[in-house]
A and B are shown apart, each in its own frame.
Chain A
Amino acid sequence: MSDMKKIATRDSYGATLVELGKIDKRIVVMDADLAGSTKSGMFGKEFPDRFFNCGIAEENMIGVAAGLSTMGLIPFVSTFAMFAVCRPYEQIRNSVGYPHLNVKICASHGGISVGADGASHQCCEDFALMRTIPQMLVMCPSDDIEARQMVKAAYKYNGPVYIRLARAATPVYHDENYQFEVGKGEIVSDGSDVAIIANGIVLPEVVKAAEILKAEGISARVINMGTIKPIDKDLVIAAAKECGKIITVEEHTIIGGLGEAVCSVLAENYPAPVKRLGINDVYGYSAEAEELMQAFGLCADNISATAKDFVKR
């Protein structure tokens, strides 16, 4: 995986916006003073008439997006996940979700990999908050290839969408033939002793963990769950039936995110033991992204060690 090309999914986002902007004039893009970081600025450079900055006023940005969508435009709004989701949660709930408007919220800088900016900017609650909004699609790509397809899928879907993008450049492990489908997970590599379900930039670490486990004689199924809501129930249930035990790995609080979404499916359909890896009811802190991923156990070593333990039990 170390020899793979690395691209940050925020770059994939910016490039795909430009691509979509060329084919559909209804697309408009807004940012709240972070266009350089979220890469929405790439669209702005290409289509200055359809890009506008809202300043540091995210609540208004969400409402303006709602208004634009009622006019038949397709607004994509971007800023850091903390300010795209946590700050204007109620605006998203009441002005976008409730009227089911065609607004795409694409946030960069989700999770602890934000790094040195510290806890105030490390948004580990976005999946949980967005999952509670009825009919909101919640997605998180694991690499460049998936991010590009996800942004296009969001464009095609008529309704509210949330996508979390990452700041850090991560390995592009999918090839061009990969086909992302909303609400469908992907078996990245098959296995039968344990299933590890993850998404986002931790996925390459999970793939590495599976390789470590394989060398130790443990067969792990790796599932990429790009859509957190609606979650691919069939894939989760099949994993429990065929592998017996499930581990979830997310760069998110283990409260309300991917892990709990998986647990809900299993509790109601096919109870099975689950171990959730993620941020466990604490805040992050300033450090290099890599250090934080290690410290919070979102790395191949910890994932594989956890799996080994869990399988033995």
Chain B
Amino acid sequence: MTHDDKKKLELFALTMREDILKSTTAAGSGHPGGSLSAADYIAYLYEKEMRYDAKNPKLETRDRFVLSKGHAAPALYAALAHEGFFPVEDLMTLRKSTSHLQGHPCMNTTPGVDMSTGSLGQGISAAVGMAKGAKILNLDVNVYCLNGDGEIAEGEVWEAMMFAAHYKLDNLCVAVDVNGLQIDGKTSDVMNTEPLDKKFEAFGARVIKADGHNFDEIEKALNFFHENKNSGQPTVILLKTIKGKGVSFMENAVGWHGKAAKPAECDKALAELEEARKKILEA
């Protein structure tokens, strides 16, 4: 990856983070922590990885993205808006009665949302269905799914992985946002889902670990996915991430799972991000 490419990605993700904070604060609710941990991966998918046409969001041959951890909707919405699926101004209407931006992704209201999600464990089954559908239809379509590490406790996730391996869905790339925290505390305390690599391998996937905030590593992991195509196995990327990434007082703090920042807190967070922007531009 060139220096300029990386800079562009970092700035895109930073803008997403600003919008995650601003939109959830304007809404007075939402899930900033898990949106911030997923922001870099989602930024990479929409900036570098996926094939789509924002002006033709239903294009049959587009790659699909399913946000199985649907509560990270503010991150997805920010990416979609900045890629031109809908006006950026819409982001500030998040969770309002007149908005197309539902609290969790809704495919029938928001252009660019490929599957309605929010109930954990379900998005991955739909992603698997899309990957199987692409094979049946002989379409060169990649399906990307993003799960949370708390979500992994849902049995349906493992039913879906079994299916993906059984039907050799090597066009499926499942990423897990391993931020280590969920609503009631540390994932390791609430319900330990580790060792994730061994579990996914045992279910027939090819697994790679990556730092979910390092674009070189994300790129490497997605290249691993492309190398695996025609292997007959689905790919799983375990993204080591920090919940609340980019905002000092939100990082690794359980309390920011499902709580929006108050306006003063949001201003403080945005000031931190502004400093980060300067550093990126200077680099």
Contacts and interface: CB of A to CB of B under 8 A. Distances in A.
B93 to A, nearest CB: 20
Contacts of B155: 59
B126 A94 contact: no
Interface in A44-79: 49-50, 52, 54-55, 57, 59-60, 62-73, 75
Main secondary structure of the interface of A (DSSP, over half): helix
B80 interface: no
A68 B132 contact: yes
B136 A72 contact: no
B102 to A, nearest CB: 10
B119 A63 contact: no
A28 B136 contact: yes
B134 A71 contact: yes
Chain B residues touching A, range: 35 or more
B25 interface: no
Interface string B217-246: 000000000000000000000000000000
Nearest to A58: B159
A60 B159 contact: yes
B115 A66 contact: yes
Contacts of B57: none
Interface stretch (A95-103, A114-122, A267-275): A95-103
B163 A67 contact: no
Contact of B126 (A57, A66, A73): A66
Interface residues of A, number: 29
Contacts, number: 110
B148 to A, nearest CB: 16
B122 interface: yes
A69 B114 CA distance: 12
A95 B115 CA distance: 8
Contact of B127 (A54, A67, A69, A99): A67
A265 to B, nearest CB: 29
Contacts of A100: 108
B130 A70 contact: yes
A91 interface: yes
Contacts of B197: none
Contacts of A68: 129-130, 132-133, 136
Contacts of B129: 63-71, 75
Nearest to A60: B159
Given A59-B156, A99-B107, A64 B115 contact: no
Given A55-B163, A64-B126, 19 more contacts: A55-B159, A60-B128, A60-B160, A63-B128, A63-B129, A64-B125, A64-B160, A65-B129, A67-B130, A67-B132, A68-B129, A68-B130, A70-B114, A71-B134, A73-B133, A75-B129, A91-B125, A94-B122, A99-B116
Interface of A: 28, 49-50, 52, 54-55, 57, 59-60, 62-73, 75, 90-91, 94-95, 98-100
28 contacts: A54-B163, A59-B159, A60-B162, A63-B122, A63-B124, A63-B160, A64-B125, A64-B128, A64-B129, A66-B115, A66-B125, A67-B115, A67-B125, A67-B127, A67-B129, A67-B130, A68-B130, A68-B132, A68-B133, A70-B64, A70-B107, A70-B133, A71-B139, A73-B133, A75-B129, A94-B116, A95-B119, A99-B108
